A = this chain, B = another copy of it.
Amino acid sequence: MSEKQSWRHIYTLLKLAEMGAHRRTAKISTEFLARKLGVSQQSASRHLIELEHRGWIKRTTTPEGCLIKITDAGVGELKKLYASLHFLMETAYPPSITLEGVVFTGLGEGAYYVTRDPYRRQFMEKLGFNPYPGTLNLKLVTDYDIKTRSELEAYPAIEIEGFKNENRTFGPVKCYPAIIENKAKGALVSALRSHYDSSVIELIAPICLRKHLALKDGHKVKVEVLTLP
C-alpha cells in the first residue's frame, strides 16, 4: 500500500472489483474500464498491464476483450484498504493525539506518589511496567496543545484506583499510554495531584526519561497519547 504509485492501481483494482473481477473471471474491455475510471482507453490498457506485472490481476486478452480475475494478492490490497477505513469509521476515538510541551523541573513530589505501593502495583498490572520513581513534567505552551489536553479528559482512560493509609487519602488517577519523542513508551498520568493547572502534563515510564532521552529544562518534547478504542 505504501509502494510508489500504487494508489492509482488500487483505484483501478477497486473498479475491477466493482465489476465482479474479485470473485470470478470477468470479461472487461479496456474501453469499458476506461469509461469507469474516467481515463482514456490507452491508459486503461496500460493500467491493466501494470496491475498484471504487480501480480494483482490475472489477465487473458481475447479478440472480444480482456478476461480479468483479481488475484489473492490483489484482493489482499483491497482488504488492507478496507481494514484501515473500517478502523477509522467504526472507532469512536482517534488513534492518537499528539501533544508538545517544554520540560521543567517540578517539586519532586512525583517520585513520592509514583512509588506508593498501591499505585505502583496498579501501574504494573494495568500499564505493564514498573514506573521509574519520578515524573517528567511538561509545560504546554500553545493554545492548540492546551485545548487538546483538555479534550483528552473526555476520552476513556486506564483508571488507577485511589486508596487511603493511616495518614491520608490518595485520589484516583487516570492514565493514557503514550509514546515520548517517538522513542520511549510510557504514560500520561492525570490528576495525580492538583498542584498544576491544565497546561501541565506529567509522564511516567519504566525508564528515566530525562536520562534516556537526554532532556534538560526548556527542551521541547513531543508526546503521542494513545487513546483507547
Q: Report A's interface with B, CB cutoff 8 A.
A: 2, 4, 7-8, 11, 14, 17-20, 22-27, 38, 62, 64, 67, 78-79, 81-82, 84-86, 88-89, 93-98, 100, 142, 144-145, 148, 151
Chain B minimum-CB-distance residue to A22: B88
Given A144-B25, A144-B67 in contact, is the A85-B81 Cβ separation under 8 Å? yes
Return A141 CB to nearest CB of chain B, in Å: 9
Q: A62 to B78, alpha carbons, bound, how many Å?
A: 36
In the complex, the answer to whether B7 meets A84 with C-beta atoms within 8 Å is no
Known: A4-B38, A8-B7. A24 touches B81 (CB 8 A): no
Q: With both chains docked as a complex, state the minimum distance between the C-beta of A25 and any C-beta of chain B, in angstroms.
A: 7
Q: List 26 A-B contacts (CB under 8 A).
A: A2-B38, A7-B7, A8-B8, A14-B84, A19-B98, A20-B94, A20-B95, A20-B96, A22-B94, A23-B93, A23-B94, A24-B97, A24-B148, A24-B151, A26-B97, A26-B98, A27-B98, A27-B100, A27-B145, A27-B148, A64-B100, A78-B88, A78-B89, A79-B89, A82-B89, A85-B85
Interface pair A88/B17, CB less than 8 Å apart = yes
Q: Are A20 and B86 CB-contacts (below 8 A) given A7-B11, A8-B7, A11-B7?
A: no
Interface centre among A25, A38, A85 (most CB of B within 10 A): A85
- Copies of this protein in the assembly total 2
Q: Which of A20, A26, A96, A100 has the most CB of B within 10 A?
A: A20
- Complex-state Cα separation, A155 to B97, whole angstroms: 47
